[in-house]
Amino acid sequence: MSELGHEVLAAVLQVRSRSLQVLLWRRAREPQVGRWSLPGGQLGATEDIEASVRRQLAEKVDVRQLSHVEQLAVFSAPDRVPGDRVIASTFLALVRSDNDPVIPDDTSWFPIDALPDTAFDHQAVVLRARDRLRSKLSYTNVGFALAAPEFTVSALRDVYSAALGYRVSATNLQRVLSRRGQLEPTGETVPPGPSGGRPAALFRFARASIQITDPFAVFRPPATTPPPAPPSPPTESASRA
């Protein structure tokens, strides 16, 4: 019977310099010396996997300000790494764009569209993290985990554009998020830049934990609140006695 290990791996994503980037760590040893891998490590005996990710990120790359962490998937191909078998539980972890954690020399941020040579199956993990983030930006409030605590709409647009990989309109972004109750004006404004322009209002996210804001694409359950008392239809025995 061979040994079976369990590791956790995190794709730590952040919007930096207007691009979505991932934190990678350069392997110093065989196998695959010089390739870039995701931070993580062996699961400890007394921690669950999420605690393990947080611990490893804090210890190994000194990243402590994770605004959001969620499970991605398990990678379990028997030969996914050489030697003893290791199963990987993978995570999506987000860092707000106002943070700039001090990271070790052998780690670096890479734009997710220009990854270097990655180790093992780590590229698949990164792509999965990216896709998950992009989907969730559409139907949840994860934006809070990417943006600074307070921001102008155009700063937020830049964050969304970087994360989604295509231009987003500030006008419509503001309207959608407002309608969903995600945005709150702080009441303050920031002065315009050197080239002029109207001062921008500051906003914040209404909630700082993930929530599904757009739950049903279709097949919505029958409305219960809005129609208080539609005129009693033909023969239907209504709910009221």
Partner DNA sequence: ACAAAAGTGTTGAGATTACACCCATGT
Partner DNA sequence: ACATGGGTGTAATCTCAACACTTTTGT
Query: Is 137 an interacting residue with respect to DNA (CB under 7 A)?
Result: no
Among 59, 62, 64, 77, binds its own copies (CB under 8 A): 77
Options 56-64, 120-128, 190-198, 208-216: segment touching its own copies (CB under 8 A): 208-216
Q: Are 62 and 75 in contact (CB under 8 A)?
A: no
- Which helix (H) or strand (E) segment holds residue 126: the answer is helix 122-139
Beta strand 19-26 with 4-16 is antiparallel
Q: Give CA torsion, residues 7, 8, 11, 12, to 10 deg.
A: -130
Residue 195 interacts, among its own copies, DNA, none and using kind-specific CB cut-offs from 5 to 8 Å, with DNA
Q: How many residues does the chain have?
A: 241
List, as one string, the DSSP characters of 146-211.
Answer: TS-SSEEHHHHHHHHHHHHTS---HHHHHHHHHHTT-EEEEEEEE--BTTB-PPEEEEEES-SS--
Query: Is 187 an interacting residue with respect to DNA (CB under 7 A)?
Result: no
CB atoms within 10 A of CB 172: 10
Among 69, 87, 124, 206, binds its own copies (CB under 8 A): 87
Residue 191 interacts, among its own copies, DNA, none and using kind-specific CB cut-offs from 5 to 8 Å, with DNA
Query: Is 195 an interacting residue with respect to its own copies (CB under 8 A)?
Result: no
Q: Are 28 and 67 in contact (CB under 8 A)?
A: no
Cβ closest to its own copies, residue 160 vs residue 203: 160
Query: Is 217 an interacting residue with respect to DNA (CB under 7 A)?
Result: yes
Among 28, 102, 217, 241, binds its own copies (CB under 8 A): 217
Contact string (CB under 8 A) for its own copies, positions 166-185, x = contact: xxx----x--x---------
Per CB under 7 A, residues contacting DNA are 152-154, 169-172, 174-176, 179-180, 189, 191-201, 214, 217-220, 222-223, 226, 230, 233
